[in-house]
Chain A
Amino acid sequence: DQQVKQNSPSLSVQEGRISILNCDYTNSMFDYFLWYKKYPAEGPTFLISISSIKDKNEDGRFTVFLNKSAKHLSLHIVPSQPGDSAVYFCAASGGTSGSRLTFGEGTQLTVNP
């Protein structure tokens, strides 16, 4: 039962353009969502989060949008840079999961110079 899904295993964009990474969830009790970035041979690092009481959160080049009715969130990176090339994981928590995070499968973003 995959409660958090990232349907695109990979995404390739040109430097300077927008990158949009998508994430869908099935558990309506989830109320907190996070994005993590992972470089090869390193642990994931926190990028940005959003609470279910908001529909948008922005931090520099990174913006996360939450559509609760569609159970969908997305991460926008504008402008994309080659250093953004990494695996991006969506994660969610809430309801009976308590303090535990449920992660998606990840999307490999490649930003081409």
Chain B
Amino acid sequence: NAGVTQTPKFRILKIGQSMTLQCTQDMNHNYMYWYRQDPGMGLKLIYYSVGAGITDKGEVPNGYNVSRSTTEDFPLRLELAAPSQTSVYFCASSYRAANTGELFFGEGSRLTVL
């Protein structure tokens, strides 16, 4: 079972570069999320989606963009990378809303901006 798959697992970016973190789930979940985790901190919600074509901002959306054209895919776009975006990024999905059911997480993508 693949579950939630994130690519790439590691990436180093220069300041000002752009990139897309890919996330795919094969569980036919409607809900998908992007979190970031900084050292010693909990996970912070960046963006989430309740279904194809619908996205909404989380706690820390600045500097990021998302799209949800299919149920399976939820890419996260960084347009102008900044050192403050150095973090570990986790994509997650759920069958029901997060406040009623569990989230399934990918293995994470470690991004370093120099």
Q: Determine which of B4, B41, B99, B107 lies in contact with A93 in the assembled complex, contact meaning CB atoms within 8 Å.
A: B99
- In the complex formed, the residue of B with least CB distance to A97 is B99
20 A-B pairs with C-beta separation under 8 A: A4-B42, A31-B99, A36-B103, A43-B4, A43-B90, A43-B92, A44-B90, A46-B102, A49-B102, A93-B98, A98-B99, A99-B48, A99-B97, A99-B98, A99-B99, A99-B100, A103-B42, A103-B43, A103-B44, A105-B42
CB contact under 8 A between A105 and B99, given known A43-B92, A44-B90, A45-B105: no
* Bound CA span A105–B97, Å: 22
**Distance to closest chain B CB from A12 (angstroms):** 18
CB distance from B24 to the nearest CB of A (A): 14
B40, A41: Cβ atoms closer than 8 Å: no
- Within B57-114, the residues touching A (CB, 8 Å) are 58-59, 90, 92, 97-100, 102-108
Q: Are the C-beta atoms of B106 and A100 separated by less than 8 Å?
A: no
Q: How far is the CA of A97 from the CA of B35 in the complex (A)?
A: 15
With the chains together, A9 CA to B4 CA distance in Å? 28
Our pick among A32, A41, A42 for the contact of B100 (Cβ within 8 Å) is: A32
Establish whether residues A41 and B107, one from each chain, have CB atoms under 8 Å apart when the complex forms: yes
| B interface residues with partner A (beta carbon < 8 Å) | 4, 31, 35, 40-45, 48, 50, 58-59, 90, 92, 97-100, 102-108
Given the known A-B contacts A32-B99, A43-B92, A98-B97, are A105 and B40 also in contact in the complex, defined by CB atoms under 8 Å? Answer: yes
Given contacts A4-B42, A43-B107, A45-B105, contact A101 B90 (CB under 8 A): no
How far is A10 from B35 in the complex, measured between Cα atoms in Å? 22
With a cutoff of 8 Å between Cβ atoms, the chain A residues found around residue B58 in the complex are 100
Pick from A9, A31, A44, A94: contact of B105, CB under 8 Å: A44
Residue among A32, A46, A101 having the largest count of chain B Cβ atoms under 10 Å: A101
List residues of chain B with CB within 8 A of the CB of A101: 43, 45, 98-99, 103
Distance (whole angstroms) from the CB of B20 to the closest CB of chain A = 19
Closest residue on chain B to residue A46 by CB atoms = B102
